[in-house]
């Protein structure tokens, strides 16, 4: 946990440095807004930001991490203007603290996936029968999930393992990522048999070719409702990007990136 905290501090310091550098831009040049987002949003939001820049001529800086960690950074004064979380709870905490313009919008519904790297003995199936078989045989070496304390996808992963009666047996073998993106890295390296990660991460180009994955039934865990909020410090460019995220063009990218989009 100490190492995880240090990593988050370093990330926060990097963000502060980024904004400090932006502040020395020539007079009259508007600084791009800094957007904080859940790690599961990396591929989708990067594509949306590029499309936004092409369509509107405005650039945004993106920072990714676990929703809980980003929430703490916002409370501590991190210079974010828009926050895209992977759940309802963390944005609602910020709204309750008076740090947002309003209660925000649910912009996507996430799905959880079981992933096994190439060469793993894990048979990938939506019912986790293959994982249960490995557990019975004592063949689970390491298994990756995001930290449930800070990452909504980690909370969903824990719920799935508990539902299938695997949590207690697997707990000594579980390795926790600071975010779902780091959990995905752990699932593809070392001697891990796999992991439970965001479907959006599993189907991203950087991950898709490194193993096999399957979507976990939504009924196996609480809904992963992604809510975004416009923070009190947001300027005009941030508000424009926030509105753009709700357009059909942005929603189409979310759908193609592994998310469900609410009506």
Question: How big is the chain, counted in residues?
Answer: 263
Write the pLDDT tens digit of every residue in 12-49: 445 444 444 444 444 445 789 999 999 999 999 999 99
Q: What is the CATH number of domain 2-109+223-256?
A: 3.40.190.10
| Token pair recorded at residue 223 | 């809904």
For residue 206, the model assigns a pLDDT of: 84
Under CATH, to which class is 110-220 assigned?
alpha beta
In whole angstroms, what is the distance from residue 55 CA to residue 43 CA? Answer: 19
The full set of domain ranges for the chain reads: 2-109+223-256, 110-220
CA distance linking residue 254 with residue 260, whole number of Å: 7
Per-residue pLDDT of 125-166, as tens digits, reads: 999 999 999 999 999 999 999 999 999 999 999 999 999 999
| CA dihedral of residues 160, 162, 163, 169 (deg, nearest 10) | 110
What pLDDT is recorded for position 45? 98
SS3 240: helix
Mean pLDDT (the chain) is 90
- Largest interatomic CA distance in the chain: 66
Residue written as token pair 């790690």: 39
């Amino acid at each position: 946990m100490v190492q995880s905290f240090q990593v988050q501090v370093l990330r926060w310091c990097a963000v502060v440095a980024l904004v400090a550098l932006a502040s020395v831009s020539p007079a009259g040049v508007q600084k791009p807004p800094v957007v904080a987002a859940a790690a599961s949003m990396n591929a989708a939001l990067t594509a949306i930001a590029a499309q936004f820049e092409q369509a509107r001529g405005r650039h945004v800086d993106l920072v990714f991490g676990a929703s809980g960690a980003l929430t703490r950074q916002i409370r501590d004064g991190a210079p974010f203007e828009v926050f895209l979380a992977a759940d309802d709870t963390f944005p609602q905490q910020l709204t309750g603290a008076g740090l947002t313009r309003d209660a925000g919008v649910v912009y996507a519904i996430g799905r959880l996936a079981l992933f096994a790297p190439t060469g793993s003995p894990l048979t990938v199936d939506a019912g986790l029968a293959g994982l249960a078989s490995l557990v019975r045989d004592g063949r689970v070496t390491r298994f990756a999930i995001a930290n449930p304390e800070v990452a909504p996808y980690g909370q969903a992963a824990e719920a799935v393992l508990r539902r299938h009666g695997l949590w207690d047996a697997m707990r000594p073998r579980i390795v926790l990522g600071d975010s779902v993106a780091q959990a995905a890295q752990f699932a593809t390296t070392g001697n891990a048999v796999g992991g439970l990660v965001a479907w959006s991460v599993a189907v991203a180009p950087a991950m898709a070719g490194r193993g096999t994955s399957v979507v976990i039934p939504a009924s196996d865990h609480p809904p992963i409702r992604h809510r975004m909020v416009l923070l009190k410090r947001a300027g005009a460019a941030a508000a424009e990007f926030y509105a753009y995220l709700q357009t059909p063009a942005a929603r189409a990218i979310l759908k193609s990136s592994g998310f469900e989009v609410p009506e």
